[in-house]
A and B are shown apart, each in its own frame.
Chain A
């Protein structure tokens, strides 16, 4: 399957770097961690009442889980930094969109609730 290169030349299409097993210990550790956080999610949901603090905890837990899935299961930790940055940096810009859209949504709900009851129902007809 040498379509693009002569023998001895770098074959960009078929190039596959050599990989080695790093054992299963870290993978199982990650599994127990993910399971533990999910159980903690479940417990916190019932122990704490609904509040902003609880939501922040859930989002932080979600980010921790994401870090371990991408880092350990998808082997991002052992990839070159160049590749990791190529994938992760664009995602950071999504945070700006989240902030803007939530702000706009909140503004819409405020502008509706500030109307008098008559106009209020009319807005939603």
Chain B
């Protein structure tokens, strides 16, 4: 690479050509632009969610917008217990952890340490797969509970809320389906599947990209190239997935 002549290019006027005004590689700049467009995609989905939620009215056929804690209250191997928010917090933790191992791989790449890049990329892939497994479990549970893309048996009646609020965190809880539940607003379930599904698809493609990066590292492609910039670009994408999750977590589960 032309690192030795970098100083020469730096002396050119910023926008006169013959140098990179942002001082980044072409590929990295394009990754940033792609992430910007992807941010718009996710914004539009989350704004849809907000608009639907604000416009929702309780009617004779559907209830008001469901309280997320009452719905996502399951935890694997703890069937029948009221554990709101716990599982999704674990998922968030997994994603943050895999973000750290990713950025450690990038840092190792800056030191051209092939072994460390390999190790941290492996951890990152494990984290991604773990997150996807968690999401699959949550979807299965949610569908089992009666949520569909085109319907939502997740309206909670007043009796249902009274029943729910009578139990404490971690105690046994089972819906009385005849009294507690009725039809809920369809967009709630539909947007849950669309937004977490779209995010999960991003995680999936991130895992695929990371596997490719891992194989390229093992085969010594980056070592021969002299730099590990591809790891950095894959890292940008991976952190963006984490960034989107921060907002999905906030708007779908917390608020």
Contact = CB atoms under 8 A, between A and B. Distances in A.
Contacts of B249: 41, 62
Nearest to B14: A82
B50 A101 contact: yes
B57 A113 contact: yes
Interface of B, helix, strand, loop or mixed by DSSP: helix
Interface in A82-105: 82-83, 86-87, 90-91, 94, 97-98, 101-102, 104-105
A61 to B, nearest CB: 8
Nearest to A46: B169
Contacts of B17: 10
A101 B47 contact: yes
Interface stretch (B85-93, B136-144, B146-154, B200-208): B85-93
Interface in A35-81: 35, 38-39, 41-42, 45-46, 50, 55, 58-59, 61-62, 65-66, 69-70, 72-75, 79-80
Interface stretch (B20-28, B126-134, B189-197, B210-218): B20-28
Contact of A16 (B5, B25, B86, B103): B25
Contacts of B115: none
Contacts of B36: 87, 90-91
26 contacts: A12-B20, A16-B25, A16-B229, A17-B6, A18-B3, A21-B108, A30-B100, A31-B97, A66-B246, A69-B99, A69-B243, A73-B235, A80-B21, A80-B23, A83-B22, A87-B33, A90-B36, A101-B48, A101-B50, A105-B50, A105-B53, A105-B55, A109-B55, A112-B57, A124-B61, A124-B62
